[in-house]
Structures are given as structure tokens and as C-alpha cells.
Structure 1
Amino acid sequence: MRLDLAQRLVGHPGELGREREEVVREFLRRYLPKRFEIATGFVFDAHEKVSEQVDIIIADSFRCPRFETVGGTRYFPCESVVAVGQVKSSLTSTEQFRAALLNLESVKELDRSGGGRARDQATCEPIEQLANHLHQIFTFVLVTGKSLSRMIATETMMEFVLERDAHLWPNVALAMDQWLLTYCCDEGVCPNPMHSRGVASQPADGQQDLVMRFYLLLARAIEVTAVANLPYSAYLHRMGDWTAEVSFSTRDTPPPYLESIPR
């Protein structure tokens, strides 16, 4: 798997930005279940709040529609989104790292509960992202080139998470062939921020396929992250009451059902 991604990236040596992001998206499309749409765009919630643009959006296409502008920009309801990620061709400053994490936080901040109307389709439980890590969108940073040292990256991530509530924390950061950052829980290394006791940093020591480890964390997460059908009433509440004029067949009060009127 690592070799596959590396070869895809080598095939685009002079391409940065959108082209390299699409290489990673195509890689994920190949290895993740087909029911998940993988794209770039924006995520929004029922309160009309919209995230920053993210490089990778993974959404359950069976649950909610996604919306597209005339120019091709895509918008996804947060209830159907299970993961988002930022792709960096290089990550050589703490400012870059924090900017990527803040971008992901703009998705984590969205209200997946649909104002209290959204329910997990698997369990029928109300979506409660503030308390349940399985109701939170999984977020990651993926670096394909030169990166900060593992020590500096770990310190930066530790500082970042200690500044905010746990439901806003990123889940994984991967610098290919260099390091992987996530958390340590009582059961061992895990990407669950709600039960973490520390930041876990795994070096690429020649024995570790970090891409495979990243894939396993991501693939497991998108299978168990709660998704909900679009709570249309929450999104359309601003439309207000109907103002339609009604025509009746008689002046009786109440008027009869139309189907009961003799033909």
C-alpha cells in the first residue's frame, strides 16, 4: 500500500496543490469502500455554518445528498461526512502545521446533531458529538514530502490540543516515511481524543509501514463513525409557514374531503 501511494506521487514530481491532493484522493478511492464519496469542498451544518475548504472529504453517499455549484464546488451536510483531511506537499514550520489543524477544526466545530434532530442510523441514538467520539468527524493531516522533525511535530500537536476542548482535536497526522501522530489511551495507541492520556508518536524505523497503519486507523473510523439522514426540518426551518391560498368546493365548515364529493 505504501509503495502504491509512493509510486502515484512519484508519477507527479512537479505537481503540487490540487494535483497532488487528487493523487491522494484517488488512492483512497481505490482502497476504501465504494459507498463513500471522496472529494474536496466544504462541509456545512443546519445553522448555516460552513467550514473552510478541505482537501479531502469522505462522506456516506447513501445517507445525504451533496450539493454542487455551477462552478463545480461541492458542499456536504456534516451529518453524512465521516472524515476530512488536509494534504501537504511539505510541512516545514509549526505555523503550517497549526494552520492545517485549524482548517480541520473548522469542520469539527459544526453541529452534527442537526439542532437535536439527527439520529445515528445504526443505533437510532441522538447524535451527541460533544460527548461521544464515534459521533465526531475523523480528521487527519497527510504530508507527502519534507516535514518537521517528529519531536517538533509532537510538541506542536500537544500544544494545539491542550488549548481547546477534546471534541475539536485532530485524530491523526502522518508524514510519509517519517512519523505518525495520534493518541495513547488505556488500551494502547488509538485515535480517540476523548479517552487519550497523551500524544503517541510512531517513527518510521524501517520496520513500520506508516501508510498501512494510517489506512487501518482511517478505515476503521469511517466504518464506525455515526451518520444520519439529512434532518430536512432542521435545514429548512427558515422557510417559515406556508402562505398558499386554499380553494374549497363548498362553504361547509369544516369542508368535506375532496375525494368524498360525488362525481
Structure 2
Amino acid sequence: MAIDLRQLFVARQQQLAIQLRTARAHIRHPGDKGAVSETEWLELLRSFLPSRYCVDKATVIDSRGGTSESIDLVVYDRHHSPLVFEQGGFRFLPAEAVYAVFEVKQTLDAAHVAYAAGKAASVRRLHRTSAPVIDIRGRTPAKPPIHILAGLLTTDVGWVQESAAGQLQQHIEGLDGDHLLDLVCAADNQGFAVVRDEQGTALQASSPDTGLIFFLFTFLQRLQQLGTVAPIDFGAYKASL
């Protein structure tokens, strides 16, 4: 018997949306409400992404001592870049290991778009090393660092439904490369993917009831297109000792 995949994922989207709405309705303290939302998104990504990807709240560092702001969700690699520091409940990840960064907020609006863009820039501006590797093919030259994906994850949309895509595009178009958001999702509403080419910036939007499904599969597609992060040059970190 065939499985209705759309129905299956719509049901999962509704489940997450209910969890996020419940937290929003019954938890009064903004910090606690935000922490619950982060946990829900964290568990969703951990359960959906292939096991090669790790997901955690973290601060990103580089070999020159640079640090990002605290990032709600970092999707990172532990194969080529297994260097992870934890101290006092804080997790520090090397910039080379990062595939994507996301900020979690309650509502999609202009202020939160700008906030997430600033967080993304704090990661993308870090120095990233690369090292050659030796495998069955012999010595493979160092590869350039990947484009770090960035996005904003919310529960709902602060704009009027009919104008949400236009409002978002207006705020996205003004962002430079370091601040660019690639993916935006309102779990109780729509998902959006940003596409930039020689023609400019375009916004792809889901239907109102498939935002979460759209986000998850677009994210997987973008990760596939990135390939694997560049192997870390451990010598650069060693030199800082």
C-alpha cells in the first residue's frame, strides 16, 4: 500500500506547531519560552537530519582567537573537524566544522530577520583553515571552505499572510553576503528559501500548510549541494598554544 508522504509530513508539521504554540501560550517568561522553542527545533533537526550532521547550541571560534555570538542552533561536522570544546555548559565549535547556523524566535518580523542576519555574519566572518587529506586516491589538495548556510526559525509570521513573502523579500534584499539568510521557516505557517544569482535575489515560498516540510527538504537539498566541510588544519590551532 502506498504512503501519502504529504499527509505524513503535514501531520509532523502540525505536531511541532502544536508544541510550539503550547509553549507560547502557557510559558510566561520570555527566556523560558525561547528555551523551549530552541529545544523543540533542536530535537526536530536531530531526528530529521542524517547522522553525519550534529546539531547543538554553541559559540563558534577560529584558530586566531575570534569568536561568534552565541548561536541557537549550529549544524556541524564531527568527521573532518572533530575538535569540540565544552566548558561549564558552553560548547565551542571550530568555524571549519560549521554547515549552518539558525536563530530561533517566536515571530517572523523585520527585527528578527535583522537579528538573525547579524548572528550569521558573526560566524561567517571568522577565519577558516583547510588542509589536504590523504585517501585511496592519494594526496587530495586542500578544498576551499563551504558557504555557511544561515536562517531564522519561528513559530508564526508577524506580517499579514498575503504580504509575508513580499515583506520578507524586501528585508532580505538589503543584506550583504555575510548577513544573507538562506532559509526562513515559520512552523505554523510558511517556509521560504532565498535564491541569489546574476538576476538578483528571489524568494521561493511554500504553501501555507507545508512550511515545515518545505524548509526541511530544502535544507537537506542545500546541504547536499554543499558537500563536505573542508578538513581542519590542526596545525593552525596548535600554533596558538
Fold shared by both chains (TM-score > 0.5): yes
After TM superposition, give the deviation of residue 111 of structure 1 in Å: 2.4
Deviations 1:153-190 (A, max 9, x none): 21011122xxx2x3552211122344333334xxxxxx
Unaligned runs of 5+ in 1: 130-134, 185-192, 240-263
Q: Is the 8 A contact 1:150 1:178 kept in 2?
A: no
Q: Give the structure 1 partner of residue 173 of structure 2.
A: 158
Q: Which amino acid aligns with 1:118?
A: A
In the alignment, the residues of structure 2 paired with residue 138 and residue 103 of structure 1 have an alpha-carbon distance, to the nearest angstrom, of 12
Partner residue in 1 for 2:34: 17
Whole-angstrom CA distance in 1 between matches of 2:194 and 2:167: 16
Written as runs of structure 1 = structure 2, the 5 A alignment for 1:158-177 is 158-160=173-175, 164=176, 166=177, 168-177=179-188
TM-score, normalised relative to structure 2: 0.78
2:205 aligned with 1:202:
yes
User: Cα gap change, 1:74/1:195 in structure 2, threshold over 3 Å: closer, same or farther?
Assistant: farther
CA contact (8 A) 1:39 1:58 kept: yes
Give the aligned partner of residue 237 of structure 2: 235
Stretch of structure 1 that moved more, 45-54 or 169-178: 169-178
Query: 1:175-214 counterparts in 2 under 5 A?
Result: 175-184=186-195, 193=196, 197-202=200-205, 204-206=207-209, 209-214=210-215
**Alpha-carbon distance in 2 for matches of 1:121, 1:48:** 28
User: 1:128: Cα distance to partner?
Assistant: 2.8
Report whether the alignment pairs 1:81 with 2:98: yes
After superposition, the CA RMSD in angstroms is 2.6
Aligned to 2:156: 145
Closer, same or farther: CA 140–118 of 1 in aligned 2, 3 Å:
farther
Deviation for aligned residue 1:195: 5.8
The amino acid of 2:131's aligned partner reads A
Report the alpha carbon displacement of residue 65 of structure 1 after superposing the two structures with TM.
Answer: 2.3
Do the aligned partners of 1:120 and 1:127 also contact (CA within 8 Å) in 2?
no
TM-aligned CA deviation for residue 98 of structure 1: 0.6
- Would the aligned equivalents of 1:79 and 1:118 in 2 still touch at CA under 8 Å? no
Aligned identity (percent) is 21
Whole-angstrom CA distance in 2 between matches of 1:205 and 1:24:
19
The answer for the alignment partner of 2:117 in structure 1 is 101
Q: Which has the larger radius of gyration?
A: 1
- Which residue does the alignment assign to 1:41? 58
Tell me the TM-score normalized by structure 1: 0.72
* 3-state SS of paired residue (1:12): helix
Does the CA-based 8 Å contact 1:121-1:227 persist in structure 2?
no
Give the structure 2 partner of residue 118 of structure 1: 131
Q: What SS does the corresponding residue of 1:25 show, helix, strand or coil? A: helix
Displacement after TM superposition at 1:84 (Å) = 1.1
Once residues 78 and 125 of structure 2 are traced to their aligned partners in structure 1, the CA distance between those partners, rounded to angstroms, is 22
What is the deviation of 1:80? 1.4
Q: Would the alpha carbon gap of residues 150 and 168 (structure 1) be closer, same or farther in structure 2, given more than 3 Å must change?
A: closer
For the Cα contact (< 8 Å) 2:156–2:188, is it kept in 1?
A: no
Alpha-carbon distance, 1:96 to partner: 2.8
Q: 2:4 matched to which residue of 1?
A: none
Q: Relative to structure 1, is the Cα distance of residues 220 and 227 closer, same or farther in structure 2, using a 3 angstrom cutoff?
A: same
Distance of 2:45 and 2:76 partners within structure 1:
12
Counterpart residue number, 1:261: none
Does the residue aligned with 2:236 lie in a helix, a strand or coil? Answer: helix
Q: Distance in 2 between matches of 1:219 and 1:58?
A: 12
Which structure 2 segments of 5+ residues have no match?
Answer: 1-8, 28-32
Relative to its length, the structure with more strand (as a share) is: 2
